[in-house]
Structures are given as C-alpha cells and as structure tokens.
Structure 1
Amino acid sequence: MSRIGALGAKLYRGDSSYDFVARRKLWYGISLLMIVISLTGLGAKGLFMGVEFQGGAVYTTPKTEMTVEQARSTAQAASGNDARVQQLGSGGLRITVTGLDTETSNETRAALAKELGIPTQQLDSDLVGPSWGEQMTSKALTGMVIFLVLVSVYLAIAFEWRMALAALVALIHDLVITVGVYAIVGFEVTPGTVVGVLTILGYSLYDTVVVFDKVKEKTGTLGKQSRHTYGELANLGLNATLIRSVNTSVVALLPVAGLLFIGAGLLGGGMLKDIALSLFVGLAAGTYSSIMIATPVVVDLKTRESTVKAHDKRVLTKRAKTLTKVGSEEDGSVDLHEEDDDADEDAEPQDAAPAGAGVVAPRRQGGTPGGRGRSRSGKRR
C-alpha cells in the first residue's frame, strides 16, 4: 500500500487525524481575506460582460499581420465603445465590441476591413441585439436561483437545515471568489463562463454532501457515548473523507489546468479560457470550502443546541476529572473522595433485602450440620 493509501486508511479508521474543526477561526480568516480581495477587485474593475449579455458585435479576421493594439484602436475609434481583442490560434483576431446597433456595427466592420486591406465581405461579423443579451442574463440568474433553492430543500430533507445552510455558505463562498478572480484577471464573461460556474457549484455541492454524509454517520452516535464532543466526532467524519476529497480534486484539476494553461494560454484557444478559468478557480475553492468551511459552520450551528451543549459539557467535565486524577496519581496524592464518586457512578445498584427478612448469622468454622465437630486435637467430640 502506498503512503497516501496508508494515511487514508488511518484517517478513515480514526487512528490519525488533523483537527480542522478546532482551527476553524484560522480557516474563516483565510476565507474572509480571499472574499475581501475578490470583492475589492469586483468593485474596482467590474466584470466585462460579453456581447451575449449586453449586445454588440463580434468580428473575426482571417490570418493577418495586424497587431492586437492596432485592431483595438481601430475598433474603438470607429464604434466609440470599448473593444476586446483576442489572438486566435489560426493567426486571426477576434474583436468584440459591446453596445452596438446595426448601423454602428456596419461602420465598424468597414473600418476594420479597410485597416486590414481586405474586402468587407471577408470580415466575418456576428451582431447580437441587446434584448437577446438581457434574456440571456435573466435566464442565467433565474437558473442559478432555482439551483440554490432546490439544493437547499434537498439538503434540508436528506440531512438537516443546519447542513443545508452550511452548504449554501460554502457555495456562496466559491461563487464570490470565482467572480472576483474573473474581475481581477479581466476575462470576458460568456455563456461558457456561466456553464463553468454552474459546474463548479455542482461539484462543490457534491464534495460537501459526501463529507456531510460521513459527518452524519459519526455524530449519529453522540448520545451513545461520552468520550467525544460533537465537534470531535464531526472532525473524525471530515478526516475519514479527506484523502478521497483531495484525490478527486487533483484528478479533476489536471485536465482543467491543461485547458487553461496549454489550450488557452499557449495555443490561443480563445473561448476555452472562459470556461477553463471558472472551472479551475471554482474546483480549487470548492475543495477548500467543503473541508475548511462547510463542516466547521455545521459545528458552530449545532453547538448552539441545548442537548449538544449539555453533552459536550459532560464530556469535558469528565475529561477534566480524569486528567486531575492521573495528575494526582503521578504526584502520589490520590483524591479518595473523587475515586469514591467515580466508583459510585460506575457501580450497579444492589437489590435491597425484602422486608421482614431475618439476619443470617455466620456459620461457625469447622461446624457440621449435626452440631458435631472436631476438637483442636482432632478427636471427635
């Protein structure tokens, strides 16, 4: 068995574990920092919505010697709007200009064709109306809201409302970080981006549900034992699925990294990077949130319950008494009263003697049923 496999087996059996739950304030702090950075980037730069969402035109040139800067300046001068230019693997350019009507689109196309030195008909042009873009945005938001509602209902039925709330916190955490990275990097938001975001939300939810299932199994024995608190049992469940979650995430991230860094970066894959970036960031954030955020949030919510709070208090009190007793034995001064109390708690109650029963006198040693016996010399009396 490999070292990773042996470690996974130890974590699953509970022979070895890392206390993620006890260090949850650290994970909360890291997540808060990433969210602040994401929101700052989103507020400062905003999202560059593609023509599918706000209307505009997309021009695709044949192989050309025109630079990206020349194409951008020509498109902006002709249209009066901001333009995005991408280098394609075929040697052509993809020029995106948002907020154009039909007349302005034709003027921009003619200006680009003149700069390229080709007939206007050789410059491919796709015009998207703003009404269609608004429908795309509305449907994307509606689909996401329906997805979150259905997820919450399912988790509340399959587990409990606290786990459903924790899963939503993890999903929002992943969504904010992914959108913030998109804003900071400045990638164009396309339908491929929406597909990627919905995919990573589903993946994050899947990983969280697997962890919750094991946490539910471990914490199901809460009232039947007095050795572990709720947080400790939840941490055992989290450790039991740790290696599985990490392995699954690494296997999922490798092909996505290939799409992002090789397909889109080196080969100029164009729209590949729109979906690859959202998948890469979302998968990494989803793995982090399912381990570091979801279960600790459940523990914080559950420990507010009176029954769980009382159970944890009993466990900690008993543990403190045990540690005190061990320390007293090592010092040579055992607390007899404490031992008596523990013995009284562990001892089973004896049945009381029935009313009216006489006291049975002890039988004389050496006596016989007939009253005969032997003297000390051994002779029969």
Structure 2
Amino acid sequence: MSTDQKNAETERLSVWSKLYRGRTDFQFVAKRKRWYLIAAIMGALCVAVMVFKGFSLGIDFAGGNQYTVPANGTTITEVEAAAAAAGAEIASGQSTGTGDDQAFVIRTTATDVDTAAEIRQAMADAVGAETSDIATATVSATWGASVSQKALLALIVFLVLITVFIWLRFERRMAIAAVAALAYDGLLIAGVFSLVGFEVTPSTMVGALTVLAYSLYDTVVVFDKVQENTAHLLQSRQKTFGEGVNDAINETLMRSLNTSMIGALPVGALLFIGVGLLGVGTLKDLALVLFVGIVVGTYSSIFLAAPWLVDLAERSAVYRRHNQKIASKRAGEPEDDRPARKGAQSRAAEDDDDDRLVRAKTDELPLELLEEPAPVRTGGGSRPRQNVNNSKRRKRR
C-alpha cells in the first residue's frame, strides 16, 4: 500500500480506530510549551503545599507510640480526646475495618513508659474495654531516622542505576530526559501526599519506587520507538527530529493508555472501594501512591520526557542544520541554501559531518561521541600510496 493510499485510509477512520492502529496525529511535541506551562504550575503548587503544610510522617519514620483500639460503638474523635487528656500528643489517627471489627489506629509522639500506660488506660476507659484489648507498639526516634536514611539511599541508588542503564541502552539525552521526568513524578507524588495528609510509611516508599519503575517502563517504551523512527532520519529530508518523536508518541499512545488503565483499575478499586467503602485504612498510603504514580508516570512520559528529548537534541548543530534543510525544502528553496560567505571548505565540512553522523545513526552509535566535525582536507593533497605504486608499475611496463 502506497503512502497516499495509507493516508486516505487513515482519514476515513474514526478517532478510536486511529488510536488503536497508532495512526493519530496529536501534536504533543509542537505544543510542548503548553505542557511545560501546565507542568510548571502543578509543580509550583506541590512545592507550596509541601513548604506550608509539610508531611505526616508515620511512626516508622518519626518514632513514637501506636495504639490499636477497638471501636465498641465510639468515634475516633472521642478516643483521641481521651488520649490527649492523658497527656498524648496525637500524630495521626485512622479507622480500620467495619462493624464489630472496626478499630482505631492512634499514633502519638514518643512518651515515657508511665505516660504511655496512662494513655492506654484512658483509651480503654473511653471505649469501655480492658487495657489488654489495646495493642501497642513503640518505635524510637533513632530507628525512625535509620529507616529514613535507608529509604533515601534506596532512592538514590535506584536513580543512579536507571541513569546508567538508559545512557548505555539509548543515549545521554534520553537518560537526562527520563531522569528529569522521574524527578517530576516524585515531586507530584510528594505534593499529593502532603495535600491529602496521608501518612508517609515504609509502604509509601515501596509504592513510590514501584511506580517510578512503572513510569520508567512507559518512558523506555516511547524512547525505543523514538530510536526506531529516527535511526535513519539524517539520511532523508522528510521529517525533523521533533516530527519523528511526535510520530513515536502517537504510535505508542494506545499501548501507554492500555497499560495505565489496566494498572490503575485495580489500584483505584483498592483506594476508593477498599479504603473508602470497606474502611481498610491501613492500605490507603500504598493505594494512594500507586494510583497517583501510575497516572503521573503516564503523563510525564508522553507530555514531558519525549518533548524534553526534542529540546535537548535540537541544541545540537547537526539537528539544527537538518531542520533548516527541511524548512528550505518545504519552502521551495534550494536544499543547500547556505550563506555565500561560507566557502567551499566550510560547506564540505558540514557535508562530511552530516555523512559521518548518518553513518553513526545507521550503526546505532551514540551521537554525542561523534558530534565534533571531521577535519577537512584542504588543497590538492597527495595521492594515495596505492595509486602512486600503480603509476610506477605502468612506467616500468
């Protein structure tokens, strides 16, 4: 099927059919400044929320005491009031379970043994239960600091390994764009947690690493298609690098949406049904980070990572010249329309540079290693040694 026939067939398809076949033409790259503005606004709001509201750190990070109190027909407000009257500083409280199995998980700051016993007795009196019915757990501030350091170290190691992998598998620009998108994902996830007020627990950190890996997977899928579409880009004058990237996003769009929806549906059920309707409060931190991370990861891989790659690539003189040649061709100007002040040697240098980079693209070598122009041979120069030897042989004959 020729290109014209394929285009005519595409025009007859509905939007959903185009999306399913990867033939949409949404201008993600051309309108990237709009996405940058939206991303900047959301990022600024998240930073503001984190600065002014902060985070609700779980007992594993902040240290303190945790009490699991049976509800027995009371409310969490009554239990917290009784604990506060006994000298407790409430860090957080949540309800778990429903009906006869309903219980309250109350977390307080660290206290001494005597005060902890008084708080436990006050809670037991408030719900009409024995102190033995109230389960307690204590975490020291030192342990919480150790957990925080290990979580931060795990995140740093994860980012370093990801950067090295993408740099080796693809190229430097893709590694920079992918890591920047991951950092933005982490910013939005942290902002949502600060806004909602859910506790940051070890489950939250595990979930965050999980969704960052998921976001990376989606970005790598797009970048793999970008590499395929732009492998021989410099050998023709058909498309710019940005257009090739935009085609790659459209061709993988349905795959990204399908993966996101399949991942978001069970997590959404856990968050909205399990936590909201069934009252499984102990899972809400994990459910929230997974749900937000899946949505944000899909957004960043399409609207940020790929456009950032285009911006990084078009800083290269090679792609700038390539784009200029395409613009001249489309405007009906001579393809080699360079300023007259450039001599033949300068034009030869550019042509030699382009040819060398085309070969690099064909061989799938990193472009950044080969972007310095090749030396240009000036003057007549000497003939190759083999030609001289051939001339001598002819003279002897």
TM score, norm. by length of structure 1 = 0.80
Q: Which of 102, 113, 124 is residue 113 of structure 2 equivalent to?
A: 102
What corresponds to 1:64 in structure 2? 72
Q: Which of 70, 91, 100 is residue 83 of structure 1 equivalent to?
A: 91
Measure the CA separation in 2 of the matches of 1:262 and 1:10: 34
Number of equivalences? 319
Deviates more, 1:20-29 or 1:90-99: 90-99
How far the C-alpha of 1:36 sits from its partner, in A, is 1.2
Measure the CA separation in 2 of the matches of 1:129 and 1:208: 40
What corresponds to 2:395 in structure 1? none
What corresponds to 1:315 in structure 2? 326
Q: Indicate conservation of the 8 Å contact 1:105/1:127, yes or no.
A: no
Matches within 5 A, 1:118-157: 118-157=129-168
Q: Indicate conservation of the 8 Å contact 1:55/1:128, yes or no.
A: yes
Q: Which of 33, 40, 51 is residue 48 of structure 2 equivalent to?
A: 40
Measure the CA separation in 2 of the matches of 1:213 and 1:242: 13
SS at match of 1:60: strand
What corresponds to 1:261 in structure 2? 272
Deviations 1:58-112 (A, max 9, x none): 1111241221111122222323423322122122211111333434322221221
Q: Indicate conservation of the 8 Å contact 2:87/2:115, yes or no.
A: yes
What corresponds to 2:128 in structure 1? 117
Deviations 1:337-356 (A, max 9, x none): xxxxxxxxxxxxxxxxxxxx
1:19 aligns with 2:30: no
Matches within 5 A, 1:258-297: 258-297=269-308
Measure the CA separation in 1 of the matches of 2:87 and 2:289: 30
In our comparison, the structure showing a higher alpha carbon Rg is 1
What are the ranges of 5 or more consecutive residues in structure 1 without an aligned counterpart?
Answer: 324-381
Measure the CA separation in 2 of the matches of 1:73 and 1:240: 57
1:203 aligns with 2:211: no
What corresponds to 1:160 in structure 2? 171
How far the C-alpha of 1:9 sits from its partner, in A, is 5.3
Measure the CA separation in 2 of the matches of 1:69 and 1:281: 29
Measure the CA separation in 1 of the matches of 2:117 and 2:173: 56
Q: Which of 232, 243, 252 is residue 243 of structure 2 equivalent to?
A: 232
Q: Give runs of ≥4 in structure 1 deviating > 6 Å.
A: 2-5
Deviations 1:280-323 (A, max 9, x none): 11110000000000000000000000111111110111111179
| Identity in percent | 43
SS at match of 2:106: strand
How far the C-alpha of 1:114 sits from its partner, in A, is 2.5
Measure the CA separation in 2 of the matches of 1:163 and 1:118: 60
SS at match of 1:61: strand
How far the C-alpha of 1:119 sits from its partner, in A, is 2.2
What corresponds to 1:213 in structure 2? 224
1:223 aligns with 2:246: no
How far the C-alpha of 1:169 sits from its partner, in A, is 1.0
